[in-house]
Amino acid sequence: MNQLIPPVNTNDHIYGSAALELVEYGDYECPYCGRAYPIIKHIQQKLGDDLKFVFRNFPLSHIHPHAFAAAVATEAAGLQNKFWEMHDIVFENQKTLEPGDIFYFAKSIGLDLEKFKNDITNNELQSKVEGDIESGFRSGVNKTPTFFINGVRYEGDWEENTFLQYLKDQLMETSISGE
């Protein structure tokens, strides 16, 4: 399967609104996702308003014991409109994801800690993470990070220059075809 299932929708965390859409299935404790994180940030800076970025949770809990809880924590931060802030601070500190660390991150980005404490135990947020995992399986995801560009799985190298050039080429094709 090489198609994104389901397509990006209102359940997703979306950064930007461009026609060029990059979706990452990622795990907050995965070292490869940790290496991809600054690359994606640079690509976002370079493409600016020409890129829409979506992050979907795909915690590999069997090898990363803190990944699922970190995913739920980012979703809980999202309830306070701070998903991207938590996403960033968790990736920037992915080697320190114990519960106390997560609460420290929540405090440092200005979350209401009492609300956050209640939200991280919310079954709906756990279901949201599980839904992301299920969509990953349906889309053929079997490792992290896995990327989709405009709904199609990207199989190429995600080293920054190569990935950026590929995205620029896709952007050019999108504008030529008038999508």
Task: Please tell me the pTM assigned to this model.
Answer: 0.95
Task: Give tens-digit pLDDT for 112-125.
Answer: 999 999 999 999 99
CA–CA gap between residue 85 and residue 36 (Å, rounded): 17
Task: Give tens-digit pLDDT for 16-36.
Answer: 999 899 999 999 999 999 999
CA–CA gap between residue 103 and residue 121 (Å, rounded): 13
> Can you list the domains of the chain with their CATH numbers?
13-171 (3.40.30.10)
The pLDDT value given to residue 177: 63
Per-residue tokens: 8:
């990006």
The pLDDT value given to residue 63: 96
The pLDDT value given to residue 173: 84
The pLDDT value given to residue 1: 64
Burial 42-74 (b: 16+ CB within 10 A, else e): ebbeebeebbbbbbbbbbbeeebebbbbbbbbb
Residues in the chain, pLDDT under 70: 1, 177-179
